[in-house]
């Protein structure tokens, strides 16, 4: 049998290596958009994986959204086969980070260590989690070379902008399917004692109201598209928002405010384009003939996408019947169905037992309000045995002075290595 105590001790002994790897990853500014330096980060990882005896492949998601010769979408997949046939456990981490933003008091790419924390953009979301998975896998394959099955780690592009140049591309090209991969763990920052089973669904759409342009001094000669949009907003306030607040879910979404259906108005614009910053003249007086609004509807396992869309088209249809001159167009922008692994899926019970073993308590099962790359593994790869589990405090993601706790990374790496031992032990060591 695998000596679990020794495995836990060995992961702890690699604490410095884990910190160093995290800092090296953070030092490469893989800001997305535009999605820069993906090749650099893949090359860094390639060297690391090759030293640890993994087979490595780099793949560019040519032709994916955002891919160009200036900003190519590079991904890396590393694999180490065991001594016997068995399942493949795959860890997937995204390499891109969001914009730095304002209000930092630390260098966002220096990986400063202060009081047991590493600071920097992407430490928490999710270079620290990726580093923890790598150290967990390295330790496991070195201590248990006789394991069965395979360990794979992918580091992928573009999660922050939908994952089309990363996990979606790998899934479309056969990397994620239940023939070759059986268990997937995505080390997103969900806190070291929580297992994220999935996420709510998304529908983004653009609503355009139409009017007729005229001189602003004689608005009665035109038809104001912004006023028509006002009627849409009024109907949202009186009918839609109260109805959404009544829809609740059995999904354990955190924060609990997201356990109902939600709608955000991402943007609204009507009339002349907003003026360039260097133009200081007056606007021209015109009745707006177009107004556009982008809505961001997040929906629940209990709702269908058809129902979600019908709520909106019903409101627009009613306005067309009842409001003189009302005309509109409705355009889909983006849609993702909700996904959720079963609580008794093998990867869930395995990681749950490992959390119990390492931290001495049972994990909390949660669901994310927003989506992440699990959507592509579920929908394109048709794999349900997938979770997000990793170190880092979710609320710190995308914030100024983002950090990750070093102890949390070590604990999470221990939990991942114990999970590997449980899934890939051949029972004879």
**Exactly one of 67, 96, 158, 411 is catalytic; which is it?**
96
Backbone φ and ψ for 88, nearest 5 degrees, come out as -105, 125
Residues 6+ apart with CB under 8 A from 116: 405, 406, 407
- Piece of the chain touching Zn ion by CB under 5 A; list 56-64, 118-126, 177-185, 256-264: 118-126
Answer for the pair 398, 125: CB distance below 8 angstroms, yes or no. Answer: yes
- Convert residues 171-190 into a mask of x (bound to Zn ion by CB under 5 A) and - (unbound): -----------------x--
Q: Which is nearer to Zn ion, 158 or 188 (CB)?
A: 188
Least gap, CB of 93 to Zn ion (angstroms): 8
Least gap, CB of 372 to Zn ion (angstroms): 6
The CB density around residue 178, as the number of other CB atoms within 10 Å, is: 12
Asked whether position 125 contacts Zn ion by CB under 5 A, the answer is yes
Q: Which is nearer to Zn ion, 236 or 372 (CB)?
A: 372
Task: Burial-class residue 353 by CB neighbours within 10 Å (0-12, 13-18, 19+).
Answer: middle
DSSP-based three-state secondary structure for 93: strand
The CB density around residue 364, as the number of other CB atoms within 10 Å, is: 14
Catalytic-residue membership of 280:
no
Catalytic-residue membership of 159:
yes
Q: Which is nearer to Zn ion, 111 or 166 (CB)?
A: 166
Least gap, CB of 125 to Zn ion (angstroms): 4
Asked whether position 96 contacts Zn ion by CB under 5 A, the answer is no
Asked whether position 388 contacts Zn ion by CB under 5 A, the answer is no
Pairing of strands 339-340, 183-186: unpaired
**Exactly one of 67, 125, 138, 159 is catalytic; which is it?**
159
The CB density around residue 265, as the number of other CB atoms within 10 Å, is: 12
Least gap, CB of 161 to Zn ion (angstroms): 11
- Piece of the chain touching Zn ion by CB under 5 A; list 68-76, 124-132, 210-218, 387-395: 124-132
Answer for the pair 328, 230: CB distance below 8 angstroms, yes or no. Answer: no
Pairing of strands 194-199, 364-368: parallel
Which positions are catalytic?
Answer: 96, 159
Q: Which residues bind Zn ion (CB under 5 A)?
A: 125-126, 188
């Amino acid at each position: 049998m695998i000596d679990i105590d020794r495995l836990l001790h060995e992961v702890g002994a690699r604490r410095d290596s884990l910190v160093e790897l995290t800092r090296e990853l953070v030092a490469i500014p893989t800001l997305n958009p535009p999605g820069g330096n993906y090749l650099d980060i893949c090359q860094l990882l390639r060297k690391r994986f090759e030293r640890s005896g993994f087979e490595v492949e780099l793949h560019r998601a040519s032709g994916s959204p955002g891919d160009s010769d200036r900003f190519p979408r590079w991904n890396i997949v590393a694999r180490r086969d065991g001594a016997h046939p068995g399942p493949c456990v795959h860890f997937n981490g995204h390499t891109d980070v969001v914009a730095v933003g304002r209000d930092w008091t630390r260098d966002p790419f220096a990986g400063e260590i202060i009081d047991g924390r590493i600071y920097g953009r992407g430490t928490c979301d999710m270079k620290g989690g990726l580093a923890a998975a790598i150290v967990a896998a390295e330790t496991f394959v070195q201590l248990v070379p006789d394991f069965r099955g395979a360990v794979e780690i992918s580091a992928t592009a573009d999660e922050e902008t939908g994952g089309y140049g990363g996990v979606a591309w790998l899934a479309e090209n056969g990397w994620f399917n239940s023939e070759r991969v059986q268990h997937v763990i995505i080390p997103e920052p969900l806190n070291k004692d929580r297992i994220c089973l999935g996420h709510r669904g998304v529908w983004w759409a653009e609503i355009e109201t139409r009017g007729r342009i005229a001189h602003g001094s004689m608005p009665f000669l035109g038809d104001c598209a912004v006023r028509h949009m006002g009627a849409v907003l009024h109907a949202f306030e009186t009918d839609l928002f109260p109805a959404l607040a009544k829809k609740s879910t059995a999904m354990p979404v955190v924060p609990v405010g997201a356990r109902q259906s939600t709608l955000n108005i991402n943007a609204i614009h009507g009339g002349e384009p907003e003026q360039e910053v260097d133009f200081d003249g007056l606007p021209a007086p015109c009745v707006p003939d177009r107004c556009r609004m982008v809505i961001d509807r997040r929906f629940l396992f209990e709702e269908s996408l058809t129902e979600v869309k019908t709520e909106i088209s019903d409101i627009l249809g009613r306005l067309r019947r009842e409001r003189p001159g009302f005309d509109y167009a409705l355009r889909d922008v983006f849609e993702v169905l909700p996904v959720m692994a079963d609580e008794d899926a093998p990867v869930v019970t395995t990681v749950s037992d490992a959390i119990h073993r390492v931290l001495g308590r049972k994990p909390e099962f949660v669901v994310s309000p927003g989506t992440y790359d699990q959507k592509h593994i579920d929908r394109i790869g048709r794999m349900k045995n997938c979770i997000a589990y990793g170190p880092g405090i979710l609320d710190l993601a995308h914030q100024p002075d983002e950090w990750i706790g070093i102890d949390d990374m070590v604990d999470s790496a221990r939990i991942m290595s114990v999970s590997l031992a449980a899934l890939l032990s051949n029972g004879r060591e």
